[in-house]
């Protein structure tokens, strides 16, 4: 698997969520994703970008265009140095929230993407990696 293009964006304030959505849309279009797939990727990115601010005290997202043989993909890696998640299974439960949201961000993003990986250490931060293959 080869990363054909990559970039990183800061996620600090709520306006950055809009910028992340716009960047992800541009990349998804470039890779030739269908409209439905574009919408799924943008929505997942929006959820995770907001989580980065609301729960991770801000962070970054790394965008990567992937080529794996004949297939293409878009990978997004959200990183923060926030308080981390003590119970990942619980955080991935539909409807569970430690804040004031609907509790669909993480679980919803997982359903919308092909691959979903999350690592978190309490006191260290959280890393969420999502990929959608074409």
Partner 1 sequence: MERIPILRMGDFLIISIQVDMHDRMAMTLQDDLTNKIIQTGAHGVLIDISTLDMVDSFIGRMINIIASMSRILDAETVVVGMQPAVAITLVELGLTLSGVRTALDVEKGMELLRAATRSRRAEAEEREDGSVEE
Tokens of 122: 């309490």
From CA 45, how far away is CA 7, in angstroms rounded? 15
Least spacing, CB of residue 95 vs partner 1, in Å: 8
Q: Which is nearer to partner 1, 18 or 122 (CB)?
A: 18
Residues near 83 by beta carbon (within 8 Å), at least 6 away in sequence: 55, 56, 57, 122, 123
Binding site for partner 1 (CB under 8 A): 14-15, 17-18, 21-22, 25, 35-36, 38-40, 42-43, 46-47, 50, 94, 101-102, 104-105, 107-108, 111-112
Q: How would you class 114 by CB atoms within 10 Å of its CB: exposed for 0-12, middle for 13-18, buried for 19 or more?
A: middle
| Minimum distance of partner 1 from residue 100's CB (angstroms) | 9
Residue nearer to partner 1 on the CB measure, 46 or 98: 46
């Amino acid at each position: 698997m080869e990363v054909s293009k990559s970039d990183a964006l800061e996620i600090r304030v709520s306006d950055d969520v809009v910028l992340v959505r716009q960047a992800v849309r541009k990349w998804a279009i470039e890779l030739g994703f269908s409209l439905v797939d574009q919408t799924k990727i943008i929505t997942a990115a929006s959820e995770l970008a907001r989580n980065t601010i609301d729960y991770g005290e801000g962070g970054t997202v790394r965008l990567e265009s992937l080529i794996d043989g004949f297939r293409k993909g878009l990978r997004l890696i959200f990183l923060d140095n926030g308080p981390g998640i003590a119970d990942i299974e619980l955080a991935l439960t539909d409807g569970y929230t430690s804040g004031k949201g609907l509790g669909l961000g993480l679980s919803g993003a997982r359903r919308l993407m092909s691959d979903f990986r999350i690592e978190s250490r309490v006191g260290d931060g959280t890393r969420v990696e999502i990929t959608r293959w074409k």
